[in-house]
């Protein structure tokens, strides 16, 4: 495989077919696979007939195991890093090991693949050009509500992960922070047998959960719409226009008012005509 490297390998988030050919090749050819839970990874490897040696690396031993990975790399070995599902280091262990391996001077190579956040966003129907991936909210309600309040005024969608035993409480807190009218996309068990994507107003999602107990089971990705652009205060553009029209021709006044206030030129042009009518006594 060339120079000894740490390969950060994305694995399926549910459906075992959602793994790339490159990922399978890397998992076969490395000397060791560092896995968040070897019991989970061994099922994936068994499905594809891969017999590479496994070692456990999870949130409680990551720093210790990272040194073992560095020792392996120093001895000319290559290592793959996997989490239970998706991409290591993203709401999963791996980021510390990556930083330490890179600090030790060894290459870290991304092997991209399945991603729950992007999958959920792609089927949400949200047309915003930007989004924020937030991941998991705090488990404690006070901290969760405080964090949601900070995020509530963002003008682009926010993507959250949530566990089944907290999802109902979390969406209730979202109603309090965002309001009942904001749109939410609830993506449940993505790529798995009981995959569900439901889009509705935040105020309606609690009733949707209550209608079927199975809807609160599984892993969740929640995509909440942004607040949208604040409404334009037209008083300020109008006052600007009135002042400019005293000294300048109508078209020039409109152009300058648009630049100064950020208002739309067509709306300001209509406003300027109304002002002129009032001043001439024609209104």
In the beta sheet, which residues pair with residue 199?
185
32 and 94 assigned to the same domain: yes
Q: Is position 269 within any domain?
A: yes
CATH number at residue 106: 3.40.1010.10
201 and 266 assigned to the same domain: no
pLDDT of residue 247: 85
Cα 109 off chain centre by: 22
132 and 150 assigned to the same domain: yes
73 and 148 assigned to the same domain: no
pLDDT of residue 240: 84
Other Cβ atoms within 10 Å of 2 Cβ, number: 6
Q: Comparing C-alpha atoms, which of 56, 63, 50 is closest to residue 34?
A: 56
153 and 180 assigned to the same domain: yes
pLDDT of residue 21: 98
107 and 134 assigned to the same domain: no
105 and 47 assigned to the same domain: yes
pLDDT of residue 4: 96
pLDDT of residue 228: 72
108 and 90 assigned to the same domain: yes
The residue out of 180, 197, 224 marking a domain boundary is: 224
Per-residue pLDDT 10s for the chain (283 aa) are 789 999 999 999 999 999 999 999 999 999 999 999 999 999 999 999 999 999 999 989 999 999 999 999 999 999 999 999 999 999 889 999 999 999 999 999 999 999 999 999 999 998 888 999 999 999 999 999 999 999 998 999 999 999 999 999 999 999 999 999 999 999 999 999 999 999 999 999 999 999 999 999 999 999 999 987 555 555 777 888 888 888 899 999 898 888 887 778 888 888 888 888 887 776 5
Q: How far apart are CA 228 and CA 266, in angstroms?
A: 22
110 and 11 assigned to the same domain: yes
pTM, to two decimals: 0.77
Q: How far apart are CA 282 and CA 277, in angstroms?
A: 5
Number of domains in the chain: 3
pLDDT of residue 38: 96
pLDDT of residue 242: 86
Q: Is position 230 within any domain?
A: no
The range of the structural domain enclosing residue 54 comes to 6-114
* Residue 253: Cβ-neighbour burial (10 angstroms; 0-12, 13-18, 19+): buried
pLDDT of residue 233: 58
Which residues make Cβ contacts (< 8 Å) with residue 13, sequence separation at least 6?
A: 85, 86, 114, 115, 116, 119, 190, 191
192 and 109 assigned to the same domain: no
pLDDT of residue 11: 97
- What would the two tokens of residue 112 be? 């991209």
- Burial pattern 56-73, b for ≥16 Cβ within 10 A else e, equals ebbeeebeebbebbbebb
- What would the two tokens of residue 169 be? 């409480």
Q: How far apart are CA 167 and CA 162, in angstroms?
A: 6
Q: Is position 229 within any domain?
A: no
CATH number at residue 130: 3.30.950.10
78 and 109 assigned to the same domain: yes
pLDDT of residue 232: 52
pLDDT of residue 210: 95
């Amino acid at each position: 495989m060339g120079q000894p490297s740490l390969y950060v390998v994305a694995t399926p988030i549910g459906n075992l077919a959602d793994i790339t050919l490159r990922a399978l090749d890397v998992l076969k050819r490395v000397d060791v696979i560092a896995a968040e839970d070897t019991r989970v990874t061994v099922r994936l490897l068994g499905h594809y007939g891969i017999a590479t040696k496994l070692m456990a690396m999870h949130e409680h031993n990551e720093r210790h195991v990272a040194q073992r990975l560095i020792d392996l790399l120093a001895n000319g070995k290559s290592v793959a890093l996997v989490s239970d599902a998706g991409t290591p280091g993203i709401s999963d262990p791996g980021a510390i090991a990556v930083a330490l391996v890179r600090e030790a001077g060894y290459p870290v190579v991304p092997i991209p693949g399945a991603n729950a956040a992007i999958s959920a966003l792609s089927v949400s129907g949200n047309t915003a050009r930007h989004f924020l991936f937030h991941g998991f909210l705090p488990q404690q309600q006070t901290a969760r509500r405080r964090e949601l309040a900070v995020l509530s005024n963002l003008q682009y969608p926010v993507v959250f992960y949530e566990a089944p035993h907290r999802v109902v409480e979390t969406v209730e807190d979202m109603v309090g922070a965002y309001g009942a009218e904001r749109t939410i996309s609830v993506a449940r068990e993505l790529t798995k047998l009981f995959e569900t994507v439901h889009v509705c107003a935040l105020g309606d999602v609690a009733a949707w959960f209550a209608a079927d107990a199975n809807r609160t089971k599984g892993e969740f990705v929640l995509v909440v719409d942004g607040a949208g652009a604040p409404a334009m205060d037209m008083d300020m553009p109008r006052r600007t226009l009135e002042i400019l029209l005293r000294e300048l021709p109508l078209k020039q006044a409109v152009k300058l008012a648009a630049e100064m206030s950020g208002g739309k030129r067509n709306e300001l042009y209509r406003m300027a005509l109304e002002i002129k009518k009032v001043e001439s006594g024609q209104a």
